[in-house]
């Protein structure tokens, strides 16, 4: 919260104390310049050239951790209140430290300042995927936000000047929470619902609901011939959940579902295609008299939340559990 108020104060200071100079209408082109921010809450984003800056102030939460739909960017109106855009020219070199200082330095001196009175900001967000070291999967490690501002009207010495489009360019953000997918090999199945699950104590679970009855049988599968079933939103429904606190086995197989720990986010398995993508393999072996061990592996599965998705890998083990056959 203090960082938020500091960013707002900083921007207010940036808008004051400008010494009017000779301003000429010139093209503002910062598209290829790297965007940076003063604080991790991303309330003030800036781009610098040697003696120029382009400053963008936005409310908290403007840069979302989700992809925008194709050709449907997020839109926000530049109003010089909640969403502010300012171009500045200086009489000397400018640095990020100068921009982010709560007390503006005496030098370099501001000689030009244009503040945008209006405009339409469009943000196209895409996920940044980092490949796994093994397994041919990937993980979302951040988001790229491409920013374009259309029909920008600046106040220049009391005269309104309209620029058809300013391509602010790309701004990269990380993810608030890194997904923990390091499940051990001990899975379980609920006796009543048939739900298959595994969990991480720190607060994550992976579950399969409405499991196809043919998947779990007290019969050994032939060598290299596992039972298979396709993941869908109604049958063999795969969910990966992240919670706000620790998790234990007592959470599962309860009706109703316990109210704690509370849920932070849910990723769902994308509908699969038989023997191609998004399907489950079950290999069954004997594990003692009348006891069978079932090993659950996900094949070419993609998890999705909102408009974002990532691939778990060619093979992803949920774990194994045993069942006992009635003699």
The pLDDT of residue 10: 39
Which H helix or E strand runs over 314?
Answer: strand 308-324
What is the number of other CB atoms lying within 10 angstroms of the CB of residue 280?
A: 25
What pLDDT is stored for residue 155 in this prediction? 82
- Backbone CA torsion sign across 242, 273, 271, 131: positive
Q: What is the mean pLDDT of the chain?
A: 91
Residue 182 pLDDT: 96
Omega of the bond prior to 177 within 30 degrees of 0, cis? no
Amino acid 26: pLDDT: 53
Model confidence over 9-19: pLDDT tens digits?
334 434 444 44
Question: pLDDT digit string (tens) for 207-245?
Answer: 999 999 999 999 999 999 999 999 999 999 999 999 999
Which pTM value belongs to this model?
A: 0.87
Instruction: Write down the domain spans for the chain.
Output: 2-173, 188-324
Closest residue by Cα to residue 1 from 41, 32, 36: 41
Under 8 Å between Cβ of 243 and 261:
yes
Weakly modelled stretches of the chain, pLDDT under 70: 1-27
With beta carbons less than 8 A apart as the criterion, state whether 184 and 198 touch: yes
């Amino acid at each position: 919260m203090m960082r938020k108020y500091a960013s707002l104060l900083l921007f207010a200071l940036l808008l004051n104390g400008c010494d009017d100079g000779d301003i000429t209408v010139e093209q503002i082109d910062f598209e290829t310049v790297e965007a940076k921010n003063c604080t991790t809450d991303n309330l003030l984003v800036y781009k610098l050239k040697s003696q120029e800056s382009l400053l963008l102030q936005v409310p908290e939460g403007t840069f979302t951790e989700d992809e925008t739909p194709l050709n449907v960017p997020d839109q926000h109106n530049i109003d010089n209140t909640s969403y502010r855009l300012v171009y500045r020219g200086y009489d000397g070199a400018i640095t990020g430290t100068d921009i982010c200082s709560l007390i503006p330095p005496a030098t370099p001196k501001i000689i030009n300042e244009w503040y945008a009175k209006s405009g339409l900001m469009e943000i196209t967000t895409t996920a940044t995927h980092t490949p796994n070291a093994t397994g041919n999967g990937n993980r979302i490690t951040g988001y790229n936000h491409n920013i374009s501002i259309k029909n920008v009207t600046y106040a220049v010495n009391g005269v309104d000047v309209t620029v058809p489009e300013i391509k602010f360019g790309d701004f990269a953000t990380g993810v608030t929470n890194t997904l923990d997918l390091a499940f051990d090999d001990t899975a379980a199945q609920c006796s009543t619902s048939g739900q298959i699950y595994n969990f991480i104590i720190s607060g994550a679970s992976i579950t399969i609901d409405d499991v196809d009855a043919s998947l779990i049988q007290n019969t050994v599968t032939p060598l290299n011939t596992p039972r298979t079933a396709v993941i869908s939103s109604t049958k063999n429904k795969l969910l990966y959940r992240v919670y706000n606190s620790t998790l234990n086995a007592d959470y599962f197989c309860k009706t109703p579902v316990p109210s704690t720990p509370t849920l932070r986010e849910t990723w769902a398995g994308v509908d699969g295609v038989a023997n191609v993508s998004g399907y489950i393999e079950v290999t069954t072996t004997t594990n003692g008299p009348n006891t069978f061990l079932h090993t659950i592996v996900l094949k070419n599965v993609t998890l999705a939340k909102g408009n974002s998705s990532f691939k778990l890998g060619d093979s992803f083990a949920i774990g194994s559990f045993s069942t006992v056959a009635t003699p």
